[in-house]
Amino acid sequence: MRRSKFYALVIALITISTFIYFVMIVPKTNNLHDVKLRYFHQRPSNIIVNSALPGVPIHKTVVAKKKETFHQKKFSSITKKYNNAKNGFGFFTLNCLKSVDKRHIKIRKQKIYQILMFNNEIVYLYKVFYDDRDSHWGRKYLQILAVGPKINKTIYVNLWFGKDVTSKSVSSCSITKNGLDTNITSNIYLQYFFSCEIKDNKIPKYVSLYFDNCTPRSNLLHVEVPERKRKHKFAICIETSYGHIDPSVIIEFVEYNKLMGVTSISVYPSIISTNNRKVFQQYEKEGIISISETPSPLDGDSWAILMLSSPISYNDCMLRQMYSAEYIIPIDFDEILVPKLSAKNYSELLNNIDSIYRTKKPFSIYSFPTFLFFTTCGTKINDPKCSNIFRFVYRLKTIGHLKSIVNPRKCLSVFNHYCKVNFKYLKGPGRVFVDTSVAVVHHYRKSWSQRFCKQLFSENLIDTYSKDKFGKRLLKPLQNKYNMFKRLNLV
């Protein structure tokens, strides 16, 4: 009697479980028998494939807070089904924990960025770099550059190694804000630096980011491994460029820094003039400039939108050259670093600084004050037309923002002219603030207003140091290069 009751109870439980599985867990479709919960994770359905927002301006989707778009509703609907399935009964969520087949990932893109959905908003993913620098004290990380809304949830990554089709490992990521909060159409965007520690000894080949393990993946990023061979003593990083820059400014900047020992200049054009792009391409042929595209993930030409990708450009330059460059210099085309005392180039300058400040090992960061020279207040010196250094000699007494030379193996995240995020436990000397008697940056820029022009000439401070010290060495290569670009109708 007891045995028959036991069998009856088992049969009843099996019947109830089967009913719950097919009625409450499995979403209703036209072909119920072919749908299995595990395929939601590995093989996205047509509704997800078609929700990649083809031809729809992504930024409009992001800012639509109060009213969801058609595509957002579809994504929300399918995500809700996954969450319902996940939260139904604990033992059914085991289907969500299986490895992901990368062949079934439908990648969603906006321009050069891949997409990660967060609360019906979009996180734009740029690149992922493998990072095993000594400053991590033996740990290994994946560093992912991104732009998106405020994130208050843990990010995870699936990892693929070698020729594996299915993911073999999972890692969680810390989130570092990198840059300034940007308000665009009442929405706040932030630049991010996701650091994901990996325990495996091997280097992953692909990664996919996600917030919830039961949602379909929408990105698959190739892991970039920085070249380890040292190629450059000094490499310059120029943030995202837009608009039109006087080509003579670019030419003087490149030729001056070649004299200083710079052998690599990374530029990141966004929306720039055809003329500027051709000048970059000509220098790229000579091997001194490398060009990487970093358009804003959002559509539009406002300064706020264009500068969203600025931190991405700086950190791409640093991470890509963390080993191949001994130092990086995040600086702009209208700025030059001027060594003083006996230094004739940047190598001699750093040696002088280390000696003056009595350090046994080189500093991680060398920071220099800035002198401002206005190029729109007029000048009595008209020749040579191709040079700011020769023509503009009046400067303000006021000292501007610091610019830096950075050791890329000693900085976690770089921003506008300086290391923004340092390693927590840094080996060796850190940052040094260099006195103006040792070196200074000359910034040749447009005046903010006529008031500053009046201040410039009323202070009557003439500074010809850069021209006097480096003018003779610079003039001939500068004029030769300027004439070459003139023959190409680029100046």
Res 45: pLDDT: 34
- Structure tokens of 368? 């220099």
Res 242: pLDDT: 83
Of 46-55, 244-253, 407-416, which range is least confident? Answer: 46-55
Please state the rounded mean pLDDT for residues 37-64: 34
Q: What is the 3-state secondary structure (H, E, C) of 21-64?
A: HHHHHCCCCCCHHHCCHHHHHHCCCHHHHCCCCCCCCHHHHHHC
Res 397: pLDDT: 94
Per-residue pLDDT reduced to its tens digit, 329-359: 999 999 999 999 999 999 999 999 999 999 9
Taking alpha carbons only, the member of 67, 70, 84 closest to residue 28 is 84
Cα 442 to Cα 49, 290, 393, 406: the distances in Å are 53, 24, 10, 18
Per-residue pLDDT reduced to its tens digit, 176-197: 888 777 888 778 899 999 999 9
8-state DSSP, 462: B
- Structure tokens of 347? 């190598």
Res 187: pLDDT: 84
- Structure tokens of 452? 């500053």
Do the beta carbons of residue 426 and residue 418 sit within 8 Å? no
Taking alpha carbons only, the member of 472, 457, 300, 315 closest to residue 393 is 457
**Res. 30: pLDDT tops 60:** no
Query: Where do the DSSP E strands lie in 66-211?
Result: 109-110, 113-118, 121-131, 141-148, 155-160, 169-177, 182-184, 187-197, 206-210
Per-residue pLDDT reduced to its tens digit, 421-468: 888 878 788 999 999 999 999 999 999 999 999 999 999 999 999 999
Residues in Cβ contact with 54 at an 8 Å cutoff, skipping those fewer than 6 apart: none
8-state DSSP, 368: E
Do the beta carbons of residue 310 and residue 233 sit within 8 Å? no
CATH number, domain 232-487: 3.90.550
8-state DSSP, 153: S
**Res. 371: pLDDT tops 60:** yes
Query: Where do the DSSP E strands lie in 221-364?
Result: 221-224, 232-243, 262-272, 289-291, 325-330, 335-339
Do the beta carbons of residue 328 and residue 317 sit within 8 Å? yes
Q: Which residue has the higher pLDDT, 366 or 74?
A: 366
Res 134: pLDDT: 92
Please state the rounded mean pLDDT for residues 213-217: 89
Cα 179 to Cα 63, 176, 211, 301, 345: the distances in Å are 20, 10, 23, 19, 31
Res 32: pLDDT: 34
Overall pTM surpassing 0.85 (yes/no): no
Res 241: pLDDT: 82
Q: What confidence tier does 77 reach under pLDDT thresholds 50, 70, 90? A: low
CA distance 120 to 209: 16
Per-residue pLDDT reduced to its tens digit, 132-148: 999 998 899 999 999 99
Provide the 3-class DSSP secondary structure of residue 346. helix
CA distance 336 to 206: 39
**Res. 8: pLDDT tops 70:** yes
Domain boundaries along the sequence of the chain:
2-97, 102-224, 232-487
CATH number, domain 102-224: 2.60.40
Q: Which residue has the higher pLDDT, 61 or 74?
A: 74
Q: Work out the mean pLDDT of the chain and round it to a whole number.
A: 84
Name residue 268's beta-bridge partners: 240
